[in-house]
Structure 1
Amino acid sequence: MPIDIAVVPVAGRGTRLLPLTKSQPKEMLPVGSKPVVQYVVEELARCGIHRLLFVTGPGKTAIENHFDIDSELIDHLRETGKEELLEDLAFEREDLQYFYTRQRRQLGLGHAVLCAEPVVDGQDFVVALGDSIIGLHAQSTVVRTMTELFETAAAAAVIAFEEVPPEEVVHYGIAQPKGRLDDVFELADLIEKPDVREAPSNLAVAARYVFSPAIFDYLRNTEPGKGGEIQLTDAIQALIHDGGRVMGVRLPPHQARFDIGNFESYFQAFIEFAMADPDYGERVKAFTRKLLSGGDEVE
C-alpha cells in the first residue's frame, strides 16, 4: 500500500528569528510569494501524500487557519471580479486531509515525531520538517523517490541527505555510508555533529525522512539528552545498530534545501525565490543589480 501520510513538525518557537516570530510561526514567514509551510505541503501533495499531520505548539493556529478552505474569501473574489486570484488559493485542496496534534512540551524533534503515533496508527509514514523547503519553489520529487525506495529496499527508514562544506559538519547529523557512496546508499551509522577531522562524510541530514512504525519504539527507549530532549538521530542510530536497514538518498543539485532557521538562511531563501518568481523575478534581478552597482533604484 503506497505511503500517503506525512508528519510535519511545526512546534518549534523559532527563537533565532525573533522578533519576527514573536506573533507568527516561522513556518508562516513568506518566502517569495508563499509562506514556508505551503511549499512543504505542495511538495508532499505532488509526491502522493494525501494526509498531513501537523505537530504544533503554542502560537501555531495561523497554520491551521491557512489551510482551511475560506469560502467567504472565495465568494468575495468572485463577487468583486477578481476570479484570477482564485488560482492563488489552489493549495486549498479538498483531496488533502489535515490533522493537528500538540507537542505540549518542547522536548525535541524525536518527541515531536513520537506525538504523531496515535494518528499514524501503525502505518509507514513520511516526516517533513515544516521549516525546510526542498528545491526552488519546492519542485522536488525526492519524497516520492524515498517512499519508492522504502518499498523496494525493504528498509526500516530512508533519509534525505545534502552535501555541506566540510567545516559545517559539526552542525548536522552526518551519514556514515556502508560501502560505496552513490546517490542512493545504505547507512552503517548516523553521527550527530561530528568533529571535522572525524566526520565519515560531508552528507548532512536534509529534513525529509520515511519511517516504519518501528521507529516509535526506538523513540520511546531513547534516553533524553541536553534539556531533556529526545533526539531523532539517537533513535535512528539505535535502529541501525539493531540491524535495521536504513537507506540514504542524496538530494540532486537542483533540489537544494532551504532551511528557514535563522536570519541569514531566511534572507538567502527569500532573495533566491524572489529572483525566480515568474511574474516579478526579472524586475527583482534588475533592482538587485542596480542596487549592488550603486545606481539609482529601478523605476
Structure 2
Amino acid sequence: MKIIVPMAGRGSRLRPHTLTVPKPLIPVAGKPIVHRLVEDIAGVLNEPIDEIAFILGDPAFFGDEVVESLKALAIDLGAKPTIYWQLDPKGTGHAIMCAAPSLSGPAVIAYADTLIRADFNLDKDADSVIWTKVVDNPEAYGVVNLNEKNEITQLVEKPTEFVSNQAVIGIYYFKDVAELKKELQYVLDNNIINGGEYQINDGIKRMMAAGKIFKTGTVTEWMDCGNKEVTVETNRRMLGFLAEANAPLIAASVSNSNSKIIPPCFIGEGVVLKNSTVGPYVSIGQGTIIEESNVKNSIIQTNSVVKNATLDNAMIGNNAIFDGNFTNVSIGDYSELK
C-alpha cells in the first residue's frame, strides 16, 4: 500500500501563519497537520505501508527542513519516502501526476489540509473508495450521487439542487492507482480543464465511465484546517480526542510558576508558565513563555512570548511577542505587538 499526499498549496486562507510555514506543517494539538493525517491513515489501514509520496510546491518555500521532516515521518512508519515537486500549480489532477512514477498498485490519496476519524476497512469489491462526511449544507461541497447498490455514479460540485448530503473530503483509495494515472494522463493530453485547472474528478469520472466500481467510506469526524477560525476549532476537537485516549499532552520539562492548567491542553517542551491560567483547549509549542495571562481555546506556536493577555480563539505564530489587551487575534511568525 502507498500513501500519496499532495500538499503543494500555499494556504492563502490561513495567512499570516502560512506566509512562512506551509499549511500542512502548521501544528494542531502539538503536531503538524500532515503528520497527524498520515499517521492516522497508516494506523487504520491495517496494511503495511510501502511508500509515502509527498508532492510539494515551490522549493524556495518548502525547504530542506520540510523535506527532511517528511522523510523522517515516512521512515518512522516503516515506509519509503519519496518527494515530488509541483512547480506550476495547475490543479489537483496535475499535482497527482507530478508523482507519476509512484502511481502503481494500491494507494490512498489524501490531501493534507484536513484531519479525520474514520473506519478504513476497505471494500475489496470496489475499484475505488471515496471517503465522505454527511453534512447539513451539501450545496457548499462536492458531493457523491449513489445508485441502488450504494455505488457512486456521479460527482457533483456544489450542487444547486439536492443530490445527496455526502460531501467528498479529499481522501481516496484506489485498488490500482495506475487506472487513475491513465485517465489523468488523458485529461492532461486533451487539455480537459475545469475551474482553470486539471482536476482529479475528471480522471475519476473517466474511470466511472469505463465501468470501474466506486464505493463510499464514511468518516465520523472531518476537521478542516482551511482558515484560522476552523483551525482553532480543529485544535479544540483534536485535544478532546487525545484526552479521551489518555495521550500524554504536557511535557515533563514545562516550568509552572503559580499557574493553573485546565485540561485538555498540549504544552510542549521547555514552555514557561508564570502567574497564568491556561486552558481548556490550548496548544503551546516548545520554548514559549506565557506570563500574567489567561489563555483558552487557542494555538500558540514555538518560542513566542505572551504577556498580560486574555486570549480566546487566538492563533499566534512562531517567535512572536504579544503584550496587550486584544482577545481574538491571529498573529504570524516574528510579529511583535507590545
Please indicate, yes or no, whether the TM-score normalized by the shorter chain is above 0.5: yes
Please give the residue correspondences for 1:122-201 in structure 2 after superposition, counting only pairs within 5 Å: 122-135=104-117, 140-142=118-120, 145-146=121-122, 149=123, 152-153=124-125, 155-165=126-136, 167=137, 169-179=138-148, 185-195=150-160, 198-201=161-164
Shift of 1:116: 1.6
Decide whether the 8 Å contact of 2:2 with 2:51 is kept in 1.
yes
Describe the shift of the 1:264–1:220 C-alpha distance in structure 2 as closer, same or farther (beyond 3 A): same
Q: Structure with the greater relative contact order (CA < 8 A, sep ≥ 6): 1 or 2?
A: 1
* Alignment coverage as a number of residue pairs: 247
Letter of the 2:99 counterpart:
A
Q: Secondary structure at the match of 1:208?
A: strand
Decide whether the 8 Å contact of 1:174 with 1:199 is kept in 2.
no
Match of 1:30 in 2: 27
Structure 2 unaligned regions, length at least 5:
251-260, 265-277, 282-293, 297-308, 311-338
Decide whether the 8 Å contact of 1:42 with 1:91 is kept in 2.
no
Q: Give the Cα–Cα distance (whole angstroms) in 2 for the partners of residues 101 and 114 of structure 1.
A: 10
Write 1 or 2 for the structure with the bigger share of strand.
Answer: 2
Q: Give the Cα–Cα distance (whole angstroms) in 2 for the partners of residues 218 and 96 of structure 1.
A: 27
Q: Give the Cα–Cα distance (whole angstroms) in 2 for the partners of residues 236 and 97 of structure 1.
A: 27
Instruction: Report whether the alignment pairs 1:209 with 2:201.
Output: no
Q: Secondary structure at the match of 1:221?
A: helix
Q: Give the Cα–Cα distance (whole angstroms) in 2 for the partners of residues 248 and 94 of structure 1.
A: 26
Match of 2:257 in 1: none
Instruction: Report whether the alignment pairs 1:259 with 2:224.
Output: yes
Identity %: 26
Q: TM-score, length-normalised on structure 1?
A: 0.74
Match of 1:41 among 28, 38, 41: 38
Q: TM-score, length-normalised on structure 2?
A: 0.66
Match of 1:81 in 2: none
Q: Give the Cα–Cα distance (whole angstroms) in 1 for the partners of residues 32 and 279 of structure 2.
A: 23
Decide whether the 8 Å contact of 2:75 with 2:81 is kept in 1.
no
Larger CA Rg, structure 1 vs 2: 2
Q: Give the Cα–Cα distance (whole angstroms) in 2 for the partners of residues 279 and 95 of structure 1.
A: 23
Q: Give the Cα–Cα distance (whole angstroms) in 2 for the partners of residues 204 and 128 of structure 1.
A: 15
Decide whether the 8 Å contact of 1:192 with 1:233 is kept in 2.
no
Describe the shift of the 1:283–1:204 C-alpha distance in structure 2 as closer, same or farther (beyond 3 A): same
Letter of the 2:76 counterpart:
R
When the two chains are superposed, the root-mean-square deviation of aligned CA atoms in Å is: 2.6
> What are the superposed Cα offsets for residues 57-112 of structure 1, whole Å, 9 maximum, x if unpaired?
1122343221355xxxxxxxxxxxxxxxxxxxx98617221100111211111111
Q: Give the Cα–Cα distance (whole angstroms) in 2 for the partners of residues 205 and 21 of structure 1.
A: 25
Q: Give the Cα–Cα distance (whole angstroms) in 2 for the partners of residues 190 and 32 of structure 1.
A: 33
Match of 1:52 in 2: 52
Q: Secondary structure at the match of 1:67?
A: helix
Match of 2:234 in 1: 269
Decide whether the 8 Å contact of 1:173 with 1:233 is kept in 2.
no
Letter of the 1:207 counterpart:
G
Q: Give the Cα–Cα distance (whole angstroms) in 2 for the partners of residues 91 and 33 of structure 1.
A: 19
Decide whether the 8 Å contact of 1:9 with 1:130 is kept in 2.
yes
Structure 1 unaligned regions, length at least 5:
70-89
Q: Give the Cα–Cα distance (whole angstroms) in 2 for the partners of residues 94 and 188 of structure 1.
A: 35
Decide whether the 8 Å contact of 1:43 with 1:141 is kept in 2.
no
Q: Secondary structure at the match of 1:219?
A: helix
Match of 1:98 in 2: 81
Q: Secondary structure at the match of 2:237?
A: helix
